[in-house]
Structure 1
Amino acid sequence: MTRSLSGVPAAEPAPSPAEPLRLQVLTALSLHRMATTGQLLQMLRPDSPRQLLSRVLNKLRSAGLVDLTPLQEPDRSRTHAWYLTPDGARLTRDLPLLRGRPPYPITSTTAASLKTPHTLCVVRAHLPFATDARRLGHEHGPWDWTPEVAHSIGEGERLVADAVLHYTHVDGEHRRKLRAFVEVDRTTMSSERLAVKLIDYARLFQYEAQPVGRRRTASTGPAWLRWYPVFPRILFILTGASRARLEDRISDLQAMTTQHPHVATLAREVPLGAAILQDIEQHGPTAPIWVPLTGGDPRPWTNL
């Protein structure tokens, strides 16, 4: 049975202690697909005790709105990943924050377990940006990181970014709005397949949609202008292998940037960078740990 949200205020752009935590949890799980208790705590209530969130999650589970799947790692046998049930997904689909987002319901523990490793890694990549923003007084919260964003690149093909990041860098009265496509690489594909993603982004950069059934008319500009005032920078976040192997994969991304003509054109207009996830977690994303794919010394992602 679909449950009512009567009496619950609509979600705001960022969590507020005045907003019901249960609604924040449902919204976060709908947007991010899945998360552990620890990830939700860091995302929504970083200064609160874990028991607070555990109580809310258990009540939502008793109400049939969320469920959990155990993680498979031997050293994390007591950790679970939470996700929305079909009832929970129906409950959240009309929230203003989520309106227009395609539903990605998970209907069983088996389906959840198949999505767990990559989905949790994408959430893991998001959390240091939120922590850094709080520390520095910038603006970036749980709702400023949208996973699985798809765009047409022509010929019936789509590019699906692991996430799109929205971030406002605040320096006194100066506000600088930054956006980024984020690709999270767990070393589960070949280095060449990873580097080919740059070609897809170059196609998106150049793609101009044409109305169906009409002759080609004067250009109205690239299709991406429908969503972004400037083309988002592209960030590759790598994990899942030794540092030497991850550095080799970054080198392959740099080689694609210089050798492929369309990617080289993209790189002249769009900042491209790569970093190792463990470095991001240890030092923060604004540390000089991002390797520019066009070459040069490592730097903060905001200065690529």
Structure 2
Amino acid sequence: MSSLPRGSGYPRNSAKGSVLMPSGTTDRLRASGGPSEHLLLLLNDHRVMTTDQLARATATPARTVLYRLEQLRTAGLVDYDRPGRQRGSAPHHWWLRPAGARLVTGTSPADGRRPSALFSAHAATITEVWLALREHGPAVGLTLTGWATDRAGWQEWEGSASRWGGASVKRLTPDAVLEAVLDDGQEVAAFIEVDLASMTQTQLRGKLDRYRAYARDEAWRGRFPYCPPLLLLTTTGHRAVTFTRNAARHLGDKSLPGYGRRPVGDFDLIAAHGRLVVAAAGCVRDPARAVTEHAWTLTDPEAAEVTLTAICTERATTAAAAWPAYQRQEAEADRLRRDDTLRRIRVRPRPLLPLLGPAAVDLVSYLLDTHHDPTDPFTPHLDTDATLDALAEWWRRSPRSSGDTPALAATLTRLHQQAWSHQVRQLAHLATSTGEDRPAWYAAAAHLAGRRLLTPAEHHQLGDAPTRDAAQAQVWRYWQPPGHRDEATAPTYPQWRDQQVTAEWTHLSWWQRQRTDRATLAAAFDVEHLTACARCALTIPATDTGDCPGCHHSKRLPHDQCHTVTPLTDLIAALLADTTNDA
């Protein structure tokens, strides 16, 4: 029961100018409410109701309702009028006095003045529509769950910004807002407009323009399951058809693009969901027929008249069909935001370093590499999508909570160790299965020894890397001895070395030749003209100052120190000692 303010009395009828002391009826209403308070609440909700309507709404005999209303009128809480005539059988149209409104709401929204005949007829007609829905709706699969009239049903929203800047507050003022459920449990809603032939088609078009703005701005989102249809109840079928034809011209109402020509896509489903549907029926004097029969004319001139339930069902079906499209659209928008965030991280990963640490940043750079090959044995099996989703969400969040960054850094570091261990074990398997020590594998081992992951481009070619002999042949293929420019006649290094050693040998005296080994001269010649890669021990001419063609290392050793290079097996053994067995 509504809270009831205490007072010393209520004015009776301002037209008579008398004042009544608190009556027993008012005291009882303050104390316990009951049937009389129910009548006050109904009048507060519907503004104007006839005696018959109040009787039907409360399932009470009309004589009993009239008796209670007369008591409330005597207490100065309600009053009535008989629009158009004061005698005869015209029905009583009841409304709240300020005291009655104050009694049920705590405020006094009613001004107490006698409503005009047009207002009373209009409000009573809206109430009759509500009663018809209550009484006949369940039989046709439409169970009323909500009904808001006057200000309770008005819709306000911020429209699109004007060219001068800022957003304008817009308002839609339907006569009533219908909310109901279908037999299958789907929620439906509709805007009800009642026309008693008091508005011209130009005025109706202006009302339609406000509904178009409401649909265009999507102001229904978050309030209704779809854009509620505009349902006009008017006096004749001719007025209904004229209104819907005019509406069709202003709405540009056509079948959605693609229907019958191409498969319906998400854009079509979403457009149908937000489309303003307009229908009209010329039976405002008989609302029960508008609820139960094929009485509604649509904007499509070729469509037959349909039922109110069919209109609501079509809207609910459209909303249900559009829901997956919205989910896909939202998922696509999330994916684009995620990809944009990850793209910026891939271009500039350095800001992550002080927050997440070098291991985490190395993993992120590896995961964001665009050259991944899932079939490559060196590619670790990680939950990449979930990891990158968490990273993108963390990076977009501002401010970040104190627990987010350490937790993410720990997760990425653990995954880095898992990926690093996988690549080490794969390199060990590659070396042991072939029994070789290809120069490119030295580079991979040195890379992993720095606790860095091999990039997809680096590990993709390891299985097909040149053997040591092939890499050495590559070195000699492009070598030319000094003084030789014709590749066709240029000697190989061994040939050139033998020529030079032989020339030196012939210049020695007999006594020197007896004490000098030709192999010693050849070894000294190699030390002078050859170097060794400090990483893979590949032999490289001293005149070649570029990186090692086998492992791309830049440092060199004297040729006679190539035995000091750590063997590949020892390098891999040291790496395996630091691996983990994380799956």
For Structure 1 versus Structure 2, the TM-score category normalised by the shorter chain is: 0.7 to 0.9
Question: Conserved in 2, the CA contact under 8 Å of 1:180 and 1:233?
Answer: yes
Q: Which residue identity lines up with residue 77 of structure 2 in the other structure?
A: L
CA gap 1:231/1:268 in 2 versus in 1, 3 angstroms: closer
Partner in structure 2 of residue 21 of structure 1: 35
1: distance between equivalents of 2:238 and 2:233?
A: 15
Structure 1 residue 29, shift from structure 2 partner: 0.3
CA gap 1:274/1:21 in 2 versus in 1, 3 angstroms: same
Partner in structure 2 of residue 99 of structure 1: none
- Give RMSD over aligned pairs: 3.0
1: distance between equivalents of 2:110 and 2:116?
A: 10
What per-residue deviation string (whole Å, max 9, x for no partner) do you get for residues 231-270 of structure 1?
222211112xx5434433343333333379xxxx789634
2: distance between equivalents of 1:189 and 1:224?
A: 26
Partner in structure 2 of residue 32 of structure 1: 46
SS in 2 for 1:252: helix
1:233 matches 2:229:
yes
Partner in structure 2 of residue 8 of structure 1: 32
Question: Conserved in 1, the CA contact under 8 Å of 2:49 and 2:124?
Answer: yes
1:188 matches 2:234:
no
Q: Aligned match of 1:105 in 92, 107, 110?
A: 110
Q: Which residue identity lines up with residue 21 of structure 1 in the other structure?
A: P
Question: Conserved in 2, the CA contact under 8 Å of 1:205 and 1:266?
Answer: no
Q: Which gives a bigger RCO, structure 1 or 2 (Cα 8 Å, sep 6+)?
A: 1
2: distance between equivalents of 1:291 and 1:68?
A: 36
Equivalent residues, number: 259
Question: Conserved in 2, the CA contact under 8 Å of 1:66 and 1:85?
Answer: yes
CA gap 1:280/1:293 in 2 versus in 1, 3 angstroms: farther
Structure 1 residue 200, shift from structure 2 partner: 0.8
- Higher-strand-fraction structure: 1
Partner in structure 1 of residue 321 of structure 2: none
Partner in structure 2 of residue 129 of structure 1: 133
1: distance between equivalents of 2:210 and 2:289?
A: 30
CA gap 1:303/1:137 in 2 versus in 1, 3 angstroms: closer
Greater Cα shift, 71-80 or 159-168: 71-80
Q: Which residue identity lines up with residue 69 of structure 1 in the other structure?
A: D
CA gap 1:133/1:24 in 2 versus in 1, 3 angstroms: farther
Partner in structure 1 of residue 291 of structure 2: 285
Partner in structure 1 of residue 148 of structure 2: 146
- Higher-helix-fraction structure: 2
2: distance between equivalents of 1:138 and 1:245?
A: 26
Per the normalisation by structure 1, the TM-score is 0.73
Q: Percent sequence identity over matched residues?
A: 24
Structure 1 residue 61, shift from structure 2 partner: 1.1
What per-residue deviation string (whole Å, max 9, x for no partner) do you get for residues 12-44 of structure 1?
xxxxxxxx3212211110010011101212222
Per the normalisation by structure 2, the TM-score is 0.40
Question: Conserved in 1, the CA contact under 8 Å of 2:125 and 2:194?
Answer: yes
Q: Which residue identity lines up with residue 229 of structure 1 in the other structure?
A: P
What does 1:64-213 align with in structure 2 at a 5 Å threshold? 64-72=76-84, 78-94=90-106, 104-109=109-114, 111=115, 113=117, 115-133=119-137, 135=139, 138-140=142-144, 144-148=146-150, 149-152=153-156, 154=159, 155-170=168-183, 174-207=184-217
Higher-Rg structure is 2
Structure 1 residue 135, shift from structure 2 partner: 4.2
Q: Which segments of 5 or more consecutive residues in structure 2 lack a partner in the other structure?
A: 1-8, 11-25, 160-167, 255-270, 312-583
CA gap 1:77/1:266 in 2 versus in 1, 3 angstroms: farther
